[in-house]
């Protein structure tokens, strides 16, 4: 297992973020992450050597609520605790910035992962604002 290094709010590398997202999210479209990350409460990156292998972003309501977004781990680095460590560090940094609650949405099959990461299931709602074309 390669040694993994974590960084909070490192300089954004669009090429590395797009490579990581493309390896995980089938419908990922290349984008500029810089603007999005300027709005973040915090984001955490995981590196094996200098290669980006994990990422998580946290948005905020400007008050006590933080929202976990885009937890992403390179498929070749999964099941090594990287995802949970990204979340742990994101939660710690969010707490230090004044957040008191962290929210996350996930598919039902991911509930065991999020439970072991410290979340408890709650009732929530979601409204789709745009229609996404299906292949």
Q: What residue has token string 């460590």? A: 85
Q: Quickly list H helices, the chain.
A: 14-24, 34-38, 82-96, 111-116
Tell me which fold the domain 4-116 belongs to.
Aminopeptidase (3.40.630)
For residue range 53-76, list pLDDT tens digits in order. 999 999 999 989 999 998 999 999
pTM for this model (two decimals): 0.87
Residue boundaries of the structural domains of the chain: 4-116
- Please indicate whether residue 8 or residue 108 has the higher confidence score (pLDDT): 8
CA 115 from centroid of its chain's CA atoms: 16
For residue range 5-51, list pLDDT tens digits in order. 999 999 888 999 999 999 998 888 888 988 889 889 999 999 998 89
For residue range 74-85, list pLDDT tens digits in order. 999 999 999 999
Inter-residue contact 122 to 91 (CB < 8 Å): no
């Amino acid at each position: 297992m390669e040694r993994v290094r974590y960084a909070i709010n490192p300089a954004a590398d669009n090429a590395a973020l797009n490579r990581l997202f493309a390896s995980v999210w089938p419908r990922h479209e290349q984008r500029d992450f810089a603007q999005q990350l300027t709005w973040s409460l915090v984001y955490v990156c995981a590196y094996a050597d200098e290669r980006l292998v994990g990422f998580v972003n946290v948005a905020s309501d400007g008050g006590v609520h933080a929202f976990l977004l885009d937890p992403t781990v390179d498929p070749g680095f999964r099941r090594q605790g990287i995802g949970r460590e990204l979340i742990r560090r994101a939660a710690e940094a969010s707490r230090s910035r004044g957040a008191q609650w962290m929210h996350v949405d996930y598919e039902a099959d991911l509930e065991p992962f999020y439970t072991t990461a410290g979340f408890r299931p709650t009732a929530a709602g979601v409204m789709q604002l745009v229609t996404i074309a299906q292949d």
